[in-house]
Structure 1
Amino acid sequence: MAAGAKRGVNPESPLGRLIAGPMRPGRLAWIGLRPARHAPLVAAERARITIEAGLVGDHYAGRPGGSRQVTLIQAEDLAAIAGFLGRAEPASPFELRRNLVVEGINLLGLADKRFRVGGVLLEATGGCHPCSRMNEILGDGGYNAVRGRGGLTARVVEGGEIAVGDAVTVETAVTAR
C-alpha cells in the first residue's frame, strides 16, 4: 500500500507525493529495556531485536508479530512534553517508558511505513498513546502533556542488532500493509 493510502490520500495526488517523499535520516539516541511491567527501565548502548521476541530483554518479548514489539519516541518531543509541564529540562526517557528514543526524524512521517533502525527493519503499527500512569510519573497534567507526542509502536519485520548512534531511515519503496 502506498504511503498515505490508509488515510484515503491518493498516492498520485500532490499531497500523496509529498507524504511519500524523501525524509532526512535520523539517529538512534537511546535504548531502554523494560524488564517487567512497572519495573524501572534499564538503559543500554546495544540491543538485539528478533521477529519472535521483539526487543530482547523487554517485558513485551515473546509476542511474535505483536503490534507493540518496539515503542519509539522522538527526543524533540521529550523537550515539548517538559514545556507543557513547565519544566526547564526535557522529560526523561525513563519517565516515558519507550524503548527507543530517536532524533532528527519526524516519527509521524514514519506512520504506515517500514523503516530501519541500524540493520533492523520495523513496521509502524500505530501511535503510542499515553497511559494513565503519566500523571503518576510526570505529575498533574502528565497525561495531557504526552497526548499527541507519545511516539509510535512497531512490529519487527527483520531482526538484528541495534546500537545508540545507528541511523533511522525510511525503507525505500516499501510501506506497511
Structure 2
Amino acid sequence: MEELQSVAVTAAAGVQGDFRGVVRQGAVKPPRRQVSIIEAESWEAATQETGGSQGDALPWHSRRANLCVSGLRLPREPGAIVAIGATCRIEITMECDPCSRMDEIRPGLTAALTPDWRGGVLGRVVQDGEIAVGDEVRIER
C-alpha cells in the first residue's frame, strides 16, 4: 500500500495502479469491487475499541482501502453516488466486509469493523476524474 496525494480514477481501470479495479476483457460492466472507501472516523473508532490510543493509532491504509474520507457519513445502501472533486463519481455497490487479515494487524479489529458498515463501502466508477487529498466529497443520491 502506498499513500498518494492525487490519483486518476476511471471506469476502465478503477484507481490508477490497483489491478482490482481493471475491467476484464469481455466484461459487460466494471466489477462491483472497483473502488473501496473507508471513513476516517469509523477507522479511528474501531482501532480505539481494540486497544489503540491516540499515540498508537494505525494508519488508515492498514485497512487496505483505496480511499479514506472524513467529515461525512458514507451511504449504507447500494445505488448511492459519492462525488469526489470536480468530476469523479462512484456508485456504491455493497458493504466492504473486513477480512481476517485485520486481526493480524490488531486482535479484535475484524469484529470492531463489522457493525454499521465500519469496514467501508465498495463501488464502481461511473464518471472518471482526477482526485486529490483535500478534494470535496459529497453524496449526490
Paired with 2:71 and 2:77, the residues of 1 have a C-alpha distance of: 12
Instruction: Provide the residue aligned with 2:48 in structure 1.
Output: 83
Q: Is 1:101 the counterpart of 2:68 in the alignment?
A: yes
TM-score by length of 1: 0.69
Question: 4+ residue stretches of structure 1 with deviation over 2 A?
Answer: 108-112
Unpaired segments ≥5 residues, structure 1? 1-40
Query: Which of structures 1 and 2 has the larger relative contact order (alpha carbons within 8 angstroms, sep 6+)?
Result: 2
Instruction: Provide the residue aligned with 1:59 in structure 2.
Output: 19
Paired with 1:61 and 1:82, the residues of 2 have a C-alpha distance of: 27
CA deviations over 1:140-177 (Å, ceiling 9, x no partner) = 21211111210100100011100000011122xxx4xx
Q: Is 1:142 the counterpart of 2:126 in the alignment?
A: no
Asked whether the 8 Å contact 2:82–2:139 carries over to 1, the reply is: yes
User: Greater share of strand residues, 1 or 2?
Assistant: 1
Deviation at 1:86, TM superposition (A): 1.2
Report the secondary structure of 1:94's partner residue.
Answer: helix
Deviation at 1:93, TM superposition (A): 1.4
Quick check: 117-126 or 54-63, which moved more? 54-63
Paired with 1:68 and 1:115, the residues of 2 have a C-alpha distance of: 15
Report the secondary structure of 1:121's partner residue.
Answer: strand
Larger Rg: 1
Work out the number of aligned pairs and report it: 131
Instruction: Provide the residue aligned with 1:125 in structure 2.
Output: 93
* Equivalences for residues 10-89 of structure 1 within 5 A: 41-63=1-23, 65-89=30-54
Matching residue within 132, 150, 163 for 2:132: 163
Unpaired segments ≥5 residues, structure 2? 24-28
Asked whether the 8 Å contact 2:21–2:30 carries over to 1, the reply is: no
Paired with 1:121 and 1:107, the residues of 2 have a C-alpha distance of: 13
CA deviations over 1:14-57 (Å, ceiling 9, x no partner) = xxxxxxxxxxxxxxxxxxxxxxxxxxx01100000111111110
Asked whether the 8 Å contact 1:81–1:91 carries over to 2, the reply is: no
When residues 94 and 115 of structure 1 are mapped into structure 2, their CA distance, relative to the original with a 3 A threshold, is: closer
